[in-house]
Homo-oligomer: A and B are copies of this chain.
């Protein structure tokens, strides 16, 4: 679960309460129910941990080394999720099977239990590729956002600085943003125009390649 709070990209980690890897940080996960699809299962597990529904998720890889769990065979079907943090609704876990859960910035992650570092790496890699061709950045932003915020998301995910003017020209040229009549509020500098992602216009582009 990747979250963006307006400043940093973070992931949700849980501190394990049991052996093996007791007291280590780990990626959240759980067991697929007997009557769930994999997508449903991922949504349920996310919901139990955050209280959130309707979150964007995508399956990206299955990890199945026979020795990845010391106590027996576990195959993990990995999903990433993209979440707007720090908005109106705060996260309220429905259940936790761990000591605690914490959003930690990806720039400063602890050692992870099992092969979770590998799972995380592959997930981030997937998002990097996806964000260049699919409008997933908006999943990390509030419904109304400024172009600078959007650029910030791209920079954090891709791990590099982008040119402001070129970014704006390009992203606007895709024609999937709707400029609002509204301005940013509560900032002590010139207020930026707010934009909204226009799903209709995006749907019309279907089949065409967007490339960043």
Contact = CB atoms under 8 A, between A and B. Distances in A.
Contacts of A35: 66
A63 B34 CA distance: 14
Contact of A66 (B37, B59, B65, B66): B37
Interface string A151-191: 00000000000000000000000000000000000000000
Contacts of A38: 62-65, 75
Nearest to A132: B209
Interface in A22-36: 32, 34-36
Count of this chain's copies in the oligomeric assembly = 2
A104 interface: no
Contact of A62 (B34, B36, B59, B66): B59
A61 B59 contact: yes
A73 interface: yes
A38 B63 CA distance: 8
Contacts of A59: 61-62
A62 B62 contact: yes
A77 interface: yes
A36 B59 CA distance: 22
Interface string A80-96: 00000000000000000
A12 B32 CA distance: 31
A78 to B, nearest CB: 9
Given A38-B64, A75-B77, 13 more contacts: A34-B66, A34-B73, A35-B66, A36-B66, A37-B64, A37-B65, A38-B62, A38-B63, A38-B75, A41-B64, A59-B61, A62-B62, A64-B77
21 contacts: A32-B64, A32-B75, A34-B66, A34-B73, A35-B66, A36-B66, A37-B64, A37-B65, A37-B66, A38-B62, A38-B63, A38-B64, A38-B65, A38-B75, A41-B64, A59-B61, A59-B62, A62-B62, A62-B77, A64-B77, A75-B77
